[in-house]
Structure 1
Amino acid sequence: MSDKNNKIPFNEDNYTHNINRNNERKLDRRGFMKTLVGAAGVFAVSSLPWGVMAAKELNRLGDKKYPKHKIADLDKVPVGDAVDFHFPGEHDSAILIRLSEKKFVAYQNACTHLRCPVFWQKDEGEMLCPCHHGKFDVETGAPIAGPPRRPLPEIHVKVENGAVYAVGVKRYEA
């Protein structure tokens, strides 16, 4: 056998599969994990101010004052009927239901499962979300069937001078 058949056909410095070559692996598993943990730490520290601001805002919701908003005149809402309105903002859909001569309930009108609209079914006496057949108790807003797990946010109402007014939103504690 000749010695020329055992020679490598290219320069050994270009040989990329040589694991003994210095600095061939600049980022090994340990280096990658250190970089990953460092990046996660930077992200956590950089998002901390936003979390603090959100916590402060949530703590103030219980003290938030809402302007009184007229929903309807008493003589325009028969017992058992419902009225759609917007509260606390113009894009927040809500529903008022007159349960008896003197009892009214109001809730934000978005299902707590996937924010589909909730409808009052007078004949059945129940609030229904048609998206996934969620049902809510009209007296409390608590879910009684379907996928929703949280109650509908309640809106405080006040009756005065022959009209029904929305005056606040009940804050639920987690």
Structure 2
Amino acid sequence: MTDRNNKIPFDEDNYTHNITKNNERQLDRRGFMKTLAGAAGVFAVASLPWGAIAAKELMGLADKEYPHQKIVDLKDIAVGDSIGFHFPSDHDSAVLVRLTDNKFVAYQNACTHLRCPVYWVKEEETMICPCHHGKFDVNTGAPTAGPPRRPLPEIIIEVHDHAVYAVRVKRYEA
């Protein structure tokens, strides 16, 4: 029995009628899903070391102490004045404010709302973000007005040898 083109007819419900070689169709749906699950498992296991390193870094932020960086000599900053500096890297801008003869505070000056620069306004005795009128308490770094919800990251400072030094960044605690 042949058709008009001298080919052997096949059953219409046989979905393998176009396979002419043995074992040509080796990857069926079940095999594909097994391969996909295996690949996902390999990627998950391969990312574990990087996740562990990231978690260790995040968990140890409070303990991470950077090389002490001199910000300013005591004689060069008057009470009520501020000075900008970079800490812990050259890409992290910060501001130091001298509140009294013996009290200094320092914060990273990127607003916690949208990272706009925050400035010390001496007349108002507050830290202000001009982008969305956010205000921060200079003593604690906590937001007092505007859209920011988190305090400014505090920079721990030390005063010795007639100068102010940045030591580490205080970890944000919710």
**Pair in the same fold by TM > 0.5:** yes
1:102 aligns with 2:102: yes
Report the structure, 1 or 2, having the larger helix content: 1
Partner of 2:68: 68
How big is each residue's C-alpha offset from its partner over 1:20-60, in whole Å with a ceiling of 9 and x where there is no partner?
9979xxxxxxx9xx8xx969888766655543332111122
Amino acid paired to 1:160: H
Partner of 1:9: none
CA RMSD, aligned part only?
3.0
TM-score with structure 2 length normalisation? 0.73
- Is the alpha carbon distance of 1:94 and 1:22 closer, same or farther for their aligned partners in structure 2, counting shifts above 3 Å? same
Amino acid paired to 1:147: P
1:170 aligns with 2:160: no
Q: Partners of 2:43 and 2:114 in 1: how far apart?
A: 29
Q: Secondary structure at the match of 1:58?
A: helix
Q: Partners of 1:66 and 1:41 in 2: how far apart?
A: 38
Identify unmatched segments of 5+ residues in structure 1.
Answer: 1-19, 24-30
Partner of 1:16: none
> How far has the Cα of 1:139 moved from its partner?
0.2
Task: Map residues 42-57 of structure 1 onto 2, 5 A cutoff.
Answer: 48-57=48-57
Over the matched positions of the two proteins, sequence identity in percent amounts to 67
Q: Secondary structure at the match of 2:113?
A: coil
Task: Map residues 1-174 of structure 1 onto 2, 5 A cutoff.
Answer: 48-174=48-174
- Is the alpha carbon distance of 1:60 and 1:78 closer, same or farther for their aligned partners in structure 2, counting shifts above 3 Å? same
Q: Partners of 1:81 and 1:157 in 2: how far apart?
A: 16
Q: Partners of 1:107 and 1:121 in 2: how far apart?
A: 14
Q: Partners of 1:65 and 1:112 in 2: how far apart?
A: 22
TM-score with structure 1 length normalisation? 0.73
